């Protein structure tokens, strides 16, 4: 996977516009380098930024972090 593709997907995810499987596929598959660091942090977001409802992955602060990670990948 390319950093730019993942960054775009993360922005879509934070906006609620990604395909249902995109984010899950990314955090479920080992990566390398920067992408692996991002994957591990993204997988830990629900614990670090607990969702406020059962339909959310993480809370608003977690979504801010998703956008920051996307920017870091660009």
Tens-place pLDDT, residues 14-58: 999 998 799 999 999 999 999 999 999 999 999 999 999 999 999
What is the pTM for the complete model shown?
0.91
Mean pLDDT of the 57-66 span? 97
Instruction: Reply yes or no on whether the pLDDT at 7 is more than 90.
Output: yes
Q: What is the pLDDT of residue 30?
A: 96
Alpha carbon distance 3, 71 (integer Å): 10
Q: What is the pLDDT of residue 19?
A: 87
Q: What is the pLDDT of residue 20?
A: 79
Q: Encode 3-40: b = buried (16+ Cβ within 10 Å), e = exposed.
A: eeebbbbbbebbeeebeeebbeebbeeeeeeebeebbe
């Amino acid at each position: 996977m390319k950093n730019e593709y993942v960054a775009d997907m993360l922005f879509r995810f934070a906006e609620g516009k990604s395909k249902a499987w995109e984010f899950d596929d990314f955090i479920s598959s080992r990566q390398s380098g920067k992408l692996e660091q991002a994957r591990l942090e993204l997988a830990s977001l629900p614990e670090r930024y607990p969702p406020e409802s059962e339909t959310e992955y993480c809370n608003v602060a977690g979504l801010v972090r998703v956008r920051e990670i996307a920017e870091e990948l660009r």
